[in-house]
Structure 1
Amino acid sequence: MKKILLLALSFVMITTIFSQSTIIGTTTYDLQTNNSSKDRIIAYDDGTISALWTGSTDFGTWPDRGMFYNRYDGTAWGTYPTERIEDVRSGFGEILTVMDHEVVLSHRIVGADTTIGLFANEEIGGSTWTEFGGSGLVESFWQFSYCPEGTDDIYTITSGNVIPFSNYITALYFSRSDDGGESWSVLNDTIPFLTSADGIPTLGFNIGAESYQIRADGADVYILYGIPNSDLILLHSNDYGNPGTWERTNILDFPYDNFDGFIQSDIDGDFITDTLQTTDGYHEMIITDDGTVHVFSGYIRIYSDGFGSYSLNYRASGIWHWSTGMVSAELINTELDWESPDCVYSPYTGIGLYVYNYRNAALSSQPAASWDPATGRIYLLYTMKLEYTDIYGDPTNFSAESFRDIFGMYSDDDGLTWSRQNNLTNTAEDGEENFFLFVDDRVVDGKVHAIWQQDDEPGTSALEGEVVHENNVRYQAFEEDDFVAPLATSDFDYTVDLFYVPFTDMSTGATCYSWDFGDGGTSTLASPAHTYATGGSYTVCLTVSNSYGPVTLCQEVNLVTAPVSAFDFDGDPMVTFTDLSINTPTSWSWDFDDGSVSTEQNPVHTYVENGSYNVCLTSTNLGGSNTACQLVGINLATVAPDADFTYTAVGLNVTFTDMSTNTPTAWSWNFDDGSPISTEQNPSHTFPPGGVFNVCLQASNGGGIGTECKIIIILEDGVNELLSNTLNIYPNPANEFIIISSDADMSNVTFEVYDVLGKKVSADILVSSAHELQMNIENIAAGNYVLKIVTGSGNVMRTITIE
């Protein structure tokens, strides 16, 4: 998404400054710094702002070059400045607040002397600048200076031993003023640890102009130095920078000392040239109120085949970050695939082939940082090339130069993690080049105050020999919301039809889609459908992206899954089976391996024989079936017998037959007539005549004792043999009536019915003839009964069953 920038057409900009960028001046000289970020803007708590840049109005050789100053008075910026504050050609300066006024330091060449000029105004925001005191004493070029808040201490470093008309340097000089620049307590002291003996490349390979910075906090002074073919070095003095107090720390280690291209970059010894990670020489350093130092530097890669030169690989994007306590710098990933019409990730395809626009500036470069004392948040701004912005519309053209926008991100945990970057300017695609970025190192009024140079093409006249033209100097106060990237949001819904799942995209702001269905299947459609081979739980992830990168959302999609059968069991020989199957089976099939089956979920089955049984459960649902089997051992328990018996009576003699189950091993018969106990399984016994006896059987085994008792009715002596032998009773069992027939004459017999307890039961007898009678049994309860037929010559008994 692009932001629309309204450009001022008048020379005086009278508008609210916190809504958009504002042009605060112009310059025909377009090289604001050779490398690192400089102190060019100061935002004050009263709402006023001071800004500085290297300016010129000349379209030739810039004889009027110097430091141009503009001021925001809380309401509006001043008119565009057209004159430098110095009296001679100067440049590459910085502005410092020194107590109650401001000081500008810049380098100048007067005759054969190159020195640093110092100019001060009478008060903060004052328009009259006067050279003073220690001006002209600090030697050489490209100063970087710092004045800690609330002090008049000025710390300065300059490039020493500069080869004329080049950026080659062989030393850095350190100077310190304790009185605001009126005099110098330390002057032009050569900084140690930066010679070939220390691994720093020698003359001819040390393009180090302004590849350094300086900061101070109390007695601690820090100097940062690094070029593409050297270590990134942090020098520290704990004694205000006095000679002999410096120590060196490598915060990014370059694998070769004095690297000059005559050594093949082969760090793993396989004789293949390796590409090395390094810095592009554009640095930023800030110190927070607790004394923590934060270093930022552009990320680039370098390699050499060993033939006396090295090459830079610009197909990489990132910003190095290091802070106090870290062992080495870590890379902040700034890579973006800004334009991806085919949705194939290719972040560098659209970057123009011509890359040498600003010395060694990497794809993401010119880091500038600001710290918010109120929240502890660190804001990081940088410039980055955008794909497909060259004027040819063809990045493969050898002259194609990609335009840059300013991006920003932030960290709320001291740089451990960073937000997704956002495009803060959004004008590169409109043919505006945004470079030479400078910010106040403190957030003021919740805003990051920045200035930068805006050009109509990449590169500079000073470096590339382009036609001199006028460039804008822009200002903007970036607010917290400006750093929130308009990321796509990933969201989707779905429906399930067994194994067929249509997905519906519900994302916003997405231009590309990448689905992972969790089974190896993928899609790049916005709303695809997918058929799974089997049921189950699948983690489905949708990654959507736009120019600001990818965002992923994952959801669990649960399909009908075939059960996984499992069960437990307990008991012997009566076994209770418990279904433990998962994935919600809807039917069950048990095979007990003894010829028995069941379709209950939790059946109970009794085995009748000892043994080992392979019991199998098959559980089923719409997703399929699954079978699990276990061995069930039946031999661990003996069940007490279930006692039972039958008997047959002939006169007084009764024969008993054991019908007990569960395999009894011992028997005990009590005939209830005073006779001894019998231990036979199937005994015979003669009862005394004319009695009712409660005969009991106790059957036993190792599992216990079972008891069964039955009433036996014994009639008096004598039996009518003719009647007994020809007696026929039918139907038996019966439920309404029974027929009693015999060859004997039954005209004078008596019929009696007894229940099993010996109680006489009333029954109606209908005489049909002397040889056949009918007994009405409708009112007799169901059960077993004894029919007693009494004659003058004896009695006959039979058992009848009523249903």
Structure 2
Amino acid sequence: MKKFLLLILAAGMFYFSNAQYKLVNVPDHLKNIKVKVQEPSPSPTGNGSTVTIIGQKLDEVIMGETIHDIQTYGSLQKRMHAYQDGTIGAIWMMAFDIPDWTDRGTGYNYYDGNSWGPYPTERLETVRTGYPCYVPFGENGEITVSHYLADPYWGLAFNKREEKGTGGWEEFYLAGPENMGIVWPILVTNGADNTNIHILARTYGDIYMGQDGALLYYRSLDGGNTWDIEHYFFDELGPDYFTTIDADEYSWAQPKGETIAFAVGFNHQNGYVMKSYDNGDSWEQILVYENPFTPYAGGDTPTYGGGDGSQAIALDSDGNAHVAFGRMCHVYDGGALYLYPWTEGLIYWNETMAPLDTTIISSYTLDHLIANGNLIGWTIPSGGDSTIIDFGVYYFSLTSFPQLNIDDNNRIFALWSAVAPGYNNGVMNYRHICGRASVDGGATWEQIKDFNTDLLYIFSECVYPAMSTAFTDDHVHFIFQTDNEPGLHTWTGGHAPTDNSIVYMKHPTGTFIGTGEQIAVPSVDFSLLQNYPNPFRDQTFIVATLEKDSYLSMKILNVIGQEVRYVDFGLVNKGEFRFEIRKENLPEGIYYYTVSNGQHDMTRKMIIY
């Protein structure tokens, strides 16, 4: 595995200190908090009324409820589908029986073209289940999958029917390898009549193929009657690449013919796209993000930039993969993994781009992501209020839970949940659903939209967006969960149990593209070339290009983040500025130099030998 050297900086000291594009203020006491990463739950066992939203030109329907409020430990499963005949099927994880959630299972509702059905009060399955997925099935049907405890091992429970919205459900099951459970499944279908079923699920129980949590693939070509591929283990995702595949940290793209693909990782470990051009017979591994601590080999690490484990993937009309994931800073300290929940940034990548690494993602700045065209989401102020008081704990970043879909015109639509300055209960800020679009394949992006700015959402925590992979009548369809308390009750215990609503929204694609009050894309007003030569023995040269006259400075740091040299260049005229670094009293080794114009910082690595 190719190793990328890590930019080693103290996140709390340097985080976004001078960035012009940093539009919100995170208090220092929050910046320096690191939270020990929680393993997923010790056991995998956890008529609508239309509301007119003034000024937002959207339809909103509350079409379900739940008290059990966690919907995913990472990437949200496919939860809804808008059909071309105007109907919609949608699901969520639902439970009301506090505190043991014995009634947990899949909540289901259906829009028949005129109205939603009554709120469900009983789960879809006959057994207690969790973390469901929903997609079209057959000519006009639908199918769900979730995990359940088939004592003593966990397995998968399916429910399908040939006619969506009506008739009885057929429940059937799938077991994992011998003496091994499988959990947290995700599902897609393809083929002429959507009868090809593709499943990814994570092992649960003993070590399997060298991993405590391995990702397995299953395929049925006849609607689940038989499985021609079972328990398929990806060597490319094995222990040489991941110590474990974490719960829900993988997601399917909507297939394009026989091209199927999924994203996996994007947390404290690497991130990959796995793609098959022959309907799952063979697979190609595509590196998207790499860090030097995958797989983790023990010991302490510096703070480094990576992903937060929530990601989404979509295929364009040519079958090229597009990925979005939340940014997160991590550190191993005393053998334990910690994260910094104040980290922000929604990262975008496609197959025309080079792989990302810890230097580009960074633990202290968004500049490199902006310069590379990889940043599409961040926290945005509201009405002049740019302060974040505090926020609920999800163990994810300030900008997380992305959804990504591409229409027939190769327009990309992204949704995510972000902490919202200006919306708080006096103690914590709420989260809102945000989105934006690209009409040129991800080269440029339209402005960010906040879909929860109406008075209705002043005291609303809006999370877990789930977008339909199909677009009908040039509309984007999605659901999300909302309540009046920041954070979660289930899993984190952040607040007392409370009622949560499952909300459906429909927007014209024009809402995403060029309409309404929007936020400008941040830009960097100077560039910095890599020093040359590098490595060097006595001296090396650097060129910075300034768009305007600027006060320029440079600091050099060693590999443990200590500043070993500082240079103030004073006021520098716009254009190219060439300067040199001499070895002088610097020992041989790896260094990082950061050039600042007072508004932005640029960092590069250099080696003295």
User: Normalising by structure 2, what TM-score?
Assistant: 0.68
CA contact (8 A) 2:145 2:156 kept: yes
- The equivalent of 1:296 in structure 2 is 324
1:463 match: secondary structure:
coil
Distance 2:75 2:379 in 1: 23
Which of residues 134, 143, 154 is equivalent to 2:197? 154
- The equivalent of 1:211 in structure 2 is 249
- The equivalent of 2:227 in structure 1 is 184
Which of residues 98, 110, 122 is equivalent to 1:71? 110
Distance 1:61 1:296 in 2: 34
Distance 1:253 1:197 in 2: 13
Pair 1:105–1:450, CA change in 2 (3 A) = same
Which of residues 79, 84, 95 is equivalent to 1:40? 79
- The equivalent of 2:397 in structure 1 is 362
Which of residues 245, 252, 267 is equivalent to 1:228? 267
Letter in 2 for 1:363: L
CA contact (8 A) 2:138 2:162 kept: no
Distance 1:444 1:260 in 2: 48
CA contact (8 A) 1:372 1:446 kept: no
- The equivalent of 1:405 in structure 2 is 432
Distance 1:463 1:46 in 2: 39
Pair 1:486–1:128, CA change in 2 (3 A) = same
Structure 1 segment 538-617 matched on structure 2, within 5 A: none
- The equivalent of 1:468 in structure 2 is 497
| CA-atom RMSD in angstroms | 2.9
Distance 2:394 2:205 in 1: 20
Q: CA deviation at 1:217?
A: 3.5
Q: CA deviation at 1:186?
A: 0.6
Q: Give unmatched runs, 5+ long, in structure 1.
A: 1-10, 266-274, 394-399, 490-517, 522-803
Distance 1:108 1:188 in 2: 17
1:58 aligns with 2:92: no
Q: CA deviation at 1:464?
A: 1.5
Q: CA deviation at 1:187?
A: 1.0
Q: CA deviation at 1:258?
A: 2.2
Letter in 2 for 1:438: A
Distance 1:488 1:227 in 2: 27
Q: CA deviation at 1:162?
A: 4.5
Q: CA deviation at 1:196?
A: 3.0
Deviations 1:241-262 (A, max 9, x none): 33xx333221011132323662
Distance 1:47 1:229 in 2: 41
Distance 1:75 1:87 in 2: 29
Structure 1 segment 328-727 matched on structure 2, within 5 A: 328=355, 331-338=374-381, 349-352=387-390, 357-359=393-395, 361-373=396-408, 375-391=409-425, 393=426, 400-426=427-453, 430-465=458-493, 466-483=495-512, 484-487=515-518
1:461 match: secondary structure:
coil
Distance 2:305 2:90 in 1: 35
2:285 match: secondary structure:
strand
Distance 2:236 2:549 in 1: 58
User: Quick check: which has more Rg, 1 or 2?
Assistant: 1
- The equivalent of 2:30 in structure 1 is none
Q: CA deviation at 1:470?
A: 1.7
Which of residues 168, 185, 188 is equivalent to 1:143? 185
CA contact (8 A) 2:183 2:204 kept: no
Q: CA deviation at 1:124?
A: 1.9
Distance 1:99 1:429 in 2: 39
Deviations 1:562-617 (A, max 9, x none): xxxxxxxxxxxxxxxxxxxxxxxxxxxxxxxxxxxxxxxxxxxxxxxxxxxxxxxx
Deviations 1:748-770 (A, max 9, x none): xxxxxxxxxxxxxxxxxxxxxxx
Pair 1:303–1:241, CA change in 2 (3 A) = same
CA contact (8 A) 2:328 2:343 kept: yes
CA contact (8 A) 1:28 1:470 kept: yes
Letter in 1 for 2:151: G
Count matched residues. Answer: 447
1:193 match: secondary structure:
helix
Which of residues 154, 163, 169 is equivalent to 1:114? 154
Distance 1:53 1:252 in 2: 30
- The equivalent of 1:255 in structure 2 is 292
Letter in 1 for 2:243: P
Letter in 2 for 1:384: A
Q: Give unmatched runs, 5+ long, in structure 2.
A: 1-46, 357-372, 521-547, 552-609
Q: CA deviation at 1:337?
A: 4.5
Q: CA deviation at 1:519?
A: 9.2
Which of residues 122, 135, 138 is equivalent to 1:83? 122
Letter in 2 for 1:454: T
CA contact (8 A) 1:283 1:298 kept: yes
Distance 2:161 2:457 in 1: 40
